[in-house]
Amino acid sequence: MEISASISTLLLLLSWMCFLLLFLFLFSNLLTKKRDKVENVASKPKLPPGSMGWPYVGETLQLYSQDPNIFFASKQKRYGEIFKTHILGCPCVMLASPEGARFVLVTHAHLFKPTYPKSKEKLIGPSALFFHQGHYHTLIRKLVQNSLSPDTIRRLIPDIETEVVSSLESWVSAGHVVNAFQEMKKFSFNVGILSVFGNLEGNYRDQLKENYSIVEKGYNSFPTMIRGTSYSKALLARKRIREIISEIISKRKEQRLMEKDLLGHMLNYRDEKGKTLTDEQIADNVIGVLFAAQDTTASVLTWILKYLHDDQKLLEAIKAEQMAVYEATEQGKMPLTWGQTRNMPFTHRVILESLRMASIISFTFREAVVDVEYKGYLIPKGWKVMPLFRNIHHNPEFHPAPHNFDPSRFEMAPKPNTFMPFGNGVHSCPGNELAKLNMLILIHHLVTKFRWEVVENQNGVQYSPFPVPLHGLPTRFWRND
């Protein structure tokens, strides 16, 4: 009996010990899993700080109901150089440092694709340069760069001069106040036509201008297909532009013209198998170049007009440099030469400072094609990424006293990635040399032969969508004589 009791007690103790060992094993395993889970969570990058705003709407209303400078600067002050938000229906990560811009646009550009709303892509054309990356993008970019290289655009100087003088004379002849921004847009469009088509027949030029104006009005409108709306009209006008370009292409092919303008470069292209670009690809890229060439150049020229008007010392300094060139051309009797446009150092610095101050392109849109880690933060696949050029251009760490107009800051080259008026990397603007040439030639004729007065001079800014002086800078022009 006693032996049986002892055996029972021993078995009971063994059972309890087995149970205890099993419990300790399971508890230890649970702790290990929990620790691993915590370590995994800790090691996984987090989203950047920031606010996503209201559901669906995000912070779009805040961005568009106030000065974008205030919106972006306040975000950077609160959260640092990298922060998240939600605008235009998209979750976004914004980068306000030179390193961030270089990461997205240069060193890791393959992780971020260009992105535009489909409604805008339809108006320009899906084959346009800036909607692509990879082989096709490299091919079209090379053709555009070749057509806008210094060796090519130097031939345009006499034609650009003609456009400049014609525009200035028309503003004088108007005899009343003109909207400087709208007039600069007309001038920029005409030079864009020159760079794409060369000396185009007046009839074609007028048709392109008329229809492009309709496309432009619909570009930033609500994208509805309802008949009679700005967007639906823009799509019809875009179709007409496509037909006009096709007609011009047909004439070129019939006459076997070998022009060195952009259209010529695209028509003459053959790949290693003899394949050419389609008319659709050519039309999309022609429209894209016209679009890129107009508003940005016009905006900067309008700001230059204001900066020179508001600072008489600046105007006198730039006039002194340009009068020396004017005398060298026998008081304007001889055309400007390429060498003379390359020897306007102060005027060139004024243009660079205007580009920095105005920062026409405040930011650019990219989209992460995979999950990306940057400085310990996660940029999820599909999120928009926006390098903030304006914040970098107005950062006192890189540009002391950033709100002062000071061309002397460009006597030395700025630090890398702190000045990007034409973007950076493989998607930077290939037409930047043509844009600067336009500005140099217009400034030369403006200050040597004309004078102007800004009416209702105010310091306000309007966004349409690029920043321009309030009301488009109402201005009156006179000849010097």
Cis ω before 465 (30° cut-off from 0): yes
Separation of alpha carbons 136 and 129, rounded Å: 8
pLDDT at 61: 78
* Domain definitions of the chain by residue range: 60-198+259-479
pLDDT at 29: 52
Of 460, 438, 458, whose CA–CA distance to 310 is shortest? 458
pLDDT at 43: 61
Pairing mode of beta strands 384-387, 90-95:
parallel
Backbone phi, psi, residue 113, to 5°: -105, 150
pLDDT along the chain (481 residues), means of 10: 48 52 49 46 78 83 74 89 88 95 94 84 89 88 90 92 96 93 94 90 90 88 83 94 93 79 89 89 92 88 96 96 95 92 97 95 90 95 94 94 96 94 87 94 97 85 82 94 74
Separation of alpha carbons 478 and 481, rounded Å: 8
Residues 129-165: b if buried by 16+ CB within 10 A, e if exposed? bbbbbeeebebbbebbeebbeeebbeebbeebbebbb
- The binding site comprises 429
pLDDT at 31: 47
pTM: 0.86
pLDDT at 99: 96
∠126-367-234 over CA atoms, to 5°? 35
Two structure tokens written together for 202: 């007046």
Of 424, 128, 455, 409, whose CA–CA distance to 290 is shortest? 128
- The binding site for heme comprises 429
pLDDT at 58: 85
pLDDT at 437: 96
Two structure tokens written together for 40: 């995994």
Q: What fold does the segment set 60-198+259-479 form as a domain? A: Cytochrome p450 (1.10.630)
- Give me the sign of the Cα torsion angle 364, 368, 374, 379: positive
pLDDT at 354: 97
pLDDT at 429: 86
pLDDT at 161: 96
Q: How many CB atoms lie within 10 A of CB 397?
A: 11
Of 406, 188, 192, whose CA–CA distance to 288 is shortest? 192
Residue 46's DSSP bridge partners are 377
- Give me the sign of the Cα torsion angle 124, 129, 130, 133: positive
